[in-house]
């Protein structure tokens, strides 16, 4: 298995995008998967490396990356030393970052014998699920799209009423990171950018307009993103495939760090469903 980690791409927003590629070197074109992490996420979270290797063993060219403003840096891509960047993140930056990764692999000479650029698919976890649905609606080169515990609406995730008013007045609100106890800032630009781009960031509209195969996977024990959101995605695109993973939480019963050699049985099932769908 060949893995190249922390390739640095320069995106549109003056922060590096760190990329990993995992594949079996066969000098034969392989279907390409690009994976997008979720909120407070990163490409090396938990079992994502093990999941990537499972896809690679199945014959795919797997790409995962850190969004440029996820709070990580080139030197430390796992923790969040750059909280200013995190606070300045927004959905349009994430869409642009994914566009940069798609453009990069589409023009990369180093992997040209290993990738089949006619078969690029996107997988997004949680908030990243919304990003891949929006991008699949924008980019003609995307052939299939998968959401894992994906969100159905970005607007409903902003603070409500009094909390929103305080955010507007102070210009920042904080969310505690349960993993490392950092107070993570969200600057008010996040909301302003959403309102400016609300039409582009409409997940319902993007899902209804999809012309490619769509797979929706959700755990029935997800307390972070309700399974009702997956049901909405399926309702908006009745041609989509919808799989419920029994007894699975938001991260399919994995954790960070993930010390085991194998995936949880729930994430193993998720990965196999994805492989069958993409093949």
Q: What is the pTM for the complete model shown? A: 0.98
| Separation CA 1–CA 155 (nearest Å) | 41
Q: 10 Å Cβ neighbour count for 132?
A: 27
Contacts of 168 (CB under 8 A, 6+ apart): 188, 191
Evaluate whether 127 touches 151 at the Cβ level (below 8 Å): yes
* pLDDT computed for residue 178 by the predictor: 85
**What number does CATH give the domain 2-157+200-278?**
3.40.50.1820
* pLDDT computed for residue 179 by the predictor: 84
Instruction: State the maximum Cα–Cα separation within the chain, in Å, rounded to a whole number.
Output: 58
The structure tokens listed for 129 are 């699920």
* pLDDT computed for residue 102 by the predictor: 98
Q: Is the peptide bond before 164 cis (omega within 30 degrees of 0)?
A: no
Evaluate whether 203 touches 134 at the Cβ level (below 8 Å): yes
Q: What are 164-223's pLDDT values in tens digits?
A: 999 999 999 999 998 889 999 999 999 999 999 999 999 999 999 999 999 999 999 999
pLDDT < 70 stretches in the chain = none
């Amino acid at each position: 298995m060949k893995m190249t980690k922390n390739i640095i791409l320069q995106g549109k927003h003056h922060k590096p995008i760190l990329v990993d590629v995992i594949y079996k070197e066969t000098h034969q074109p392989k279907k390409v998967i690009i994976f997008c992490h979720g909120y407070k996420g990163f490409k090396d979270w938990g079992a994502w490396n093990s999941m990537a290797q499972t896809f690679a063993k199945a014959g795919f060219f797997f790409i995962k990356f850190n969004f440029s403003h996820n709070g990580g840096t080139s030197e430390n891509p796992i923790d969040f030393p750059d909280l200013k960047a995190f606070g300045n993140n927004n959905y349009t930056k994430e869409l642009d970052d994914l566009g940069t990764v798609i453009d990069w692999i589409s023009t990369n000479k180093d992997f040209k014998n290993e990738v089949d650029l006619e078969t690029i698919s996107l997988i997004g976890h949680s908030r990243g699920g919304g990003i891949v649905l929006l991008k699949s609606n924008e980019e003609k080169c995307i052939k299939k799209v998968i959401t894992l515990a994906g969100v159905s609406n970005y607007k409903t995730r902003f603070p409500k009423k009094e909390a929103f008013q305080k955010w507007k007045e102070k210009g920042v609100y904080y969310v505690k990171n349960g993993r490392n106890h950092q107070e993570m800032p969200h600057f008010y630009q996040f909301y302003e950018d959403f309102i400016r781009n609300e039409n582009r960031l409409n997940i319902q509209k993007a899902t209804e307009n999809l012309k490619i195969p769509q797979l929706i996977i959700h755990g029935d024990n997800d307390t972070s993103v309700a399974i009702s959101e997956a049901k909405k995605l399926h309702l908006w695109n009745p041609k989509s495939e919808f799989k419920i993973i029994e007894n699975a939480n938001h991260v399919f019963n994995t954790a960070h760090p993930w010390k085991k050699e194998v995936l949880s049985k729930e994430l193993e099932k998720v990965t196999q469903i994805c492989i069958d769908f993409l093949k």
